Structure 1
Amino acid sequence: MSYAISGECCSDASCVAVCPMNSIHPAPGEPGFGTGASLFIDPRTCIDCGACADICPVDAAQPADQAAPEDVRRNAEYFAEREPLEATDLDSWEPPSYEVWGGGPRRVLVVGAGPAGIYATRELLLRTTAEVTLADRFDTVGGLVRYGVAPDHPRTKQIIETFERVIQHPRVRWRPGTDAASLLNKQAVAPGSGRSGGFDAVVHAVGARRSRRLGIAGEDGACTAEDFVAWYNGRPGAVAPTDLVGPRAVVVGNGNVALDVARVLLSDEEQLRGMDVSPEVRRMLAASGVKQVVLVGRRGPDEAAYTQSAFQELRAAVGDRVEFRYHAWPTAWTGEGLVLDSGETIAAGNLFTAIGFEGRPVDGLPFDPDRGIVPNVRGAVVDRPGHYVAGWIKRGARGGIGVNKACAQETVMTLVSSARGSASPGS
Structure 2
Amino acid sequence: MTRTLRVAVVGAGPAGIYAADNLIKSGADVRIDLFERMPAPYGLIRYGVAPDHPRIKGIVTALQRVLDRPEVRFFGGVEYGIDLKLDDLRQFYDAVVFSTGAEKDRPLDVPGIDLDGSYGAADFVSWYDGHPDVPRTWPLHASQVAVLGVGNVALDVARILAKTADELLSTEIPDNVYEGLKASPVTDVHVFGRRGPAQAKFTPLELRELDHSPNVEVIVHPEGIDFDAASMAAIRSNKQVEMVVKTLQEWAIRDAGDRPRRLHLHFLEAPVEVLGADGRVVGLRTERMELTGDGNVRGTGEHTDWPVQAVYRAVGYLSTQLPDLPFDHASGTVPHEAGRVLDLDDQAIPGVYVTGWIKRGPIGLIGHTKGDALETVTSLLADAPLLPEPPFTDPEAVVRFLEQRAVPFTTNEGWLKLDAHEIALGRPQDRARVKVVDRAEMTAICRGE
TM-score by length of 1: 0.70
Q: What is the CA-CA distance between 1:171 and the residue it aligns to?
A: 2.2
Q: Does 1:109 align with 2:8?
A: yes
Which residue of 365, 371, 375 maps to 1:406? 371
Which residue of 348, 359, 366 maps to 2:319? 359
Equivalence map 1:105-144=2 (5 Å) = 105-127=4-26, 128-144=28-44
Q: Does 1:167 align with 2:70?
A: no
Which residue of 321, 325, 344 maps to 2:266? 325
Q: Does 1:292 align with 2:188?
A: yes
Structure 2 residue aligned with 1:217: 111
Helix, strand or coil for the counterpart of 2:97?
A: strand
5+ residue gaps, structure 1: 1-101, 190-196, 423-427
Structure with the higher helix share, 1 or 2: 2
1:209-235 deviations in Å (ceiling 9; x for gaps): 111111122212311111100000001
Q: Is the 8 A contact 1:223 1:242 kept in 2?
A: no
CA distance in 2, matches of 1:186, 1:355: 35
The structure whose RCO (Cα within 8 Å, separation 6+) is larger is 2
Q: Does 1:336 align with 2:301?
A: no
Equivalence map 1:224-235=2 (5 Å) = 224-235=120-131
TM-score by length of 2: 0.67
Q: How many residues align?
A: 314
CA distance in 1, matches of 2:376, 2:167: 41
Over aligned residues, Cα RMSD in angstroms?
A: 1.8
Which residue of 327, 345, 355 maps to 2:305? 345
Structure 2 residue aligned with 1:378: 338
Structure with the higher strand share, 1 or 2: 2
Q: Between 157-166 and 104-113, report the one with greater CA deviation.
A: 157-166
Which residue of 177, 187, 190 maps to 2:88? 187
Structure 2 residue aligned with 1:176: 76
Moved over 4 A (4+): none
AA in 2 matched with 1:308: P
CA distance in 1, matches of 2:177, 2:386: 53
The percent of aligned pairs where both chains have the same amino acid is 38
CA distance in 2, matches of 1:177, 1:183: 12
Structure 2 residue aligned with 1:255: 151
Structure 1 residue aligned with 2:292: none
Q: Is the 8 A contact 1:207 1:359 kept in 2?
A: yes
Structure 2 residue aligned with 1:158: 58
Structure 2 residue aligned with 1:193: none
1:155-200 deviations in Å (ceiling 9; x for gaps): 32122233233223222232110022342356253xxxxxxx4321
Q: What is the CA-CA distance between 1:421 and the residue it aligns to?
A: 4.5
Q: Is the 8 A contact 1:118 1:163 kept in 2?
A: yes
CA distance in 1, matches of 2:135, 2:112: 21
Structure 1 residue aligned with 2:101: 207
Helix, strand or coil for the counterpart of 1:329?
A: strand
CA distance in 2, matches of 1:168, 1:273: 30
Query: Are residues 269 and 393 of structure 1, via their aligned partners in 2, closer, same or farther at CA, if it must alter by over 3 Å?
Result: closer
CA distance in 2, matches of 1:199, 1:225: 37
Equivalence map 1:243-322=2 (5 Å) = 243-317=139-213, 318=216, 319-320=218-219, 321-322=262-263
Structure 2 residue aligned with 1:389: 354
Query: Are residues 241 and 258 of structure 1, via their aligned partners in 2, closer, same or farther at CA, if it must alter by over 3 Å?
Result: farther
Q: What is the CA-CA distance between 1:312 and the residue it aligns to?
A: 1.2
CA distance in 1, matches of 2:89, 2:47: 31
AA in 2 matched with 1:165: R
Query: Are residues 275 and 254 of structure 1, via their aligned partners in 2, closer, same or farther at CA, if it must alter by over 3 Å?
Result: same
Q: What is the CA-CA distance between 1:205 and the residue it aligns to?
A: 0.3
Helix, strand or coil for the counterpart of 1:385?
A: strand
